[in-house]
Structure 1
C-alpha cells in the first residue's frame, strides 16, 4: 500500500481520524481533500483549482488521500492501489457530526481549509440523511469497477469501531 484513498459513507464516518492514524503507522503523508476544496469562510475552490490540487497529490509516489469528492475521483482512482472505505451506521455518523461540532465550535479543524470554523446547519444535516443510503449503493458499484480495472487493487471495507481497531491491530501491525 503506497497510494491509498480513505473514503466513507458519510460525514462522521471517521475518515480523517482513520487517515491520520494510518499515515502515522505507514509513515505516509496524509492529504485531507476538505483542506483543498474549502477556502477561508467556506468559499469553494474553483473546479480547476481543486482538480489541479488533486493531480499534484496523485503525481507523488506515496500518499493517503482522505475524502470522497466524486468530482475528482477520476483523478485519484487510477493511481490508487487501495481504497479503504468506512461504512458506519447513519446514527453513529450523525452522532459524530454533532459531537465534532460541539467539540470544535469557533475553531477550524486541522483537516479543514484554513479559516473554515466548524459549523453545523440544516442543509448539511439534510445532505447527510438524504444521501446516506444512495451513497452506499454508489460506492459498491464504484469499488467493483475499481477492482475490475485492475484486479491487483484492493478495496477494504470496515463497518464499525471493532473492525477498524482489528484492522490496525492485525493488518497494519503485521506488515
Structure 2
C-alpha cells in the first residue's frame, strides 16, 4: 500500500476510538463538500442498542451507493462493504495514549451522552482496554482488509496529530481534493 495525499470522492476514515476520525471527517468535508456519515449513528438505535448485523451492512451498502461521501468509523466486520466502493482510505494510526487523550478531551467537551451528529460519547473500562489493545489486535486486521483493495483505493496512514495537520495542509495547498 502506498500513501497518496489525495482524498477522492468516496472517503473512508478509520482508526481507533479517540483518534480524531470525526474531527478529520468534518475538516475534509469542508474542503470537498461531501456528506459525512458517522457509523456510530447508524449502528445504534435510538436506545443506543446495536442494530442487527444484516441491517447495519444493508445501511452501509445504501450509503456507499452514492457518488460522494465521507464515512468515518471502524466496524471491521463490515469494512469490506465500504472498501468495495471507496476510492480513498485514511487510517488514523495513532498511539494509544494519543487516542485516550482524544477521548478525555471529547468527554470534557461534550460531557458525555449523544452528540447532535449521532455520535455517542461513552467512556468505560471496555473502551479503555479496546484503545490500549487496538494497535496489537485490530490494526493488523484492518490493514489486511485494506490491503485486499490496494489496487482501487488511495491509502493514507497518519501516525500523529502533526501528521494529520500536514495532510490537511496538503489538501489545502492542492487547492482541491482530487
Q: TM-score, normalised by structure 1?
A: 0.87
User: Which residue in 2 is equivalent to 1:132?
Assistant: 135
Q: Does 1:5 pair with 2:8? A: no
Which residue of 1 is the match for residue 158 of structure 2?
A: 158
Alignment CA distance shift 1:169-1:130 (3 Å): closer
Work out whether residues 158 and 164 of structure 2, in 8 Å CA contact, stay in contact via their aligned partners in 1.
yes
Tell me the matched-pair count: 168
Q: CA RMSD in A?
A: 1.7
Structure with the largest fraction of helix: 1
1:60 — aligned with what? 66
Structure 2 residue ranges without an equivalent (≥5): 1-7
CA-to-partner distance for each residue in 1:83-125, whole Å, 9 max, x for gaps? Answer: 0111111101011112212322254223435xx5x33111221
Deviation, structure 1 residue 40: 2.3
> Which consecutive residues of structure 1, in runs of 5 or more, have no partner in the other structure?
none
Greater shift, 29-38 or 100-109, is seen at: 100-109
Structure number with the bigger relative contact order (C-alpha 8 A, sep ≥ 6) is 2
Moved runs in structure 1, 4+ residues, more than 3 A? none
1:89 pairs with 2:95: yes
Deviations 1:59-91 (A, max 9, x none): 111111101111221211111111011111110
- Corresponding position: 1:71 with 2:77: yes
**Against the structure 1 CA distance between its residues 54 and 152, is the aligned structure 2 distance closer, same or farther, given a 3 Å change threshold?**
closer
**Kept in 1: contact 2:36–2:72 (CA 8 A):** yes
Q: TM-score, normalised by structure 2?
A: 0.86
Q: Which residue, 27, 35, 38 being the options, matches 2:33?
A: 27
Structure 2 residue aligned with 1:104: 110
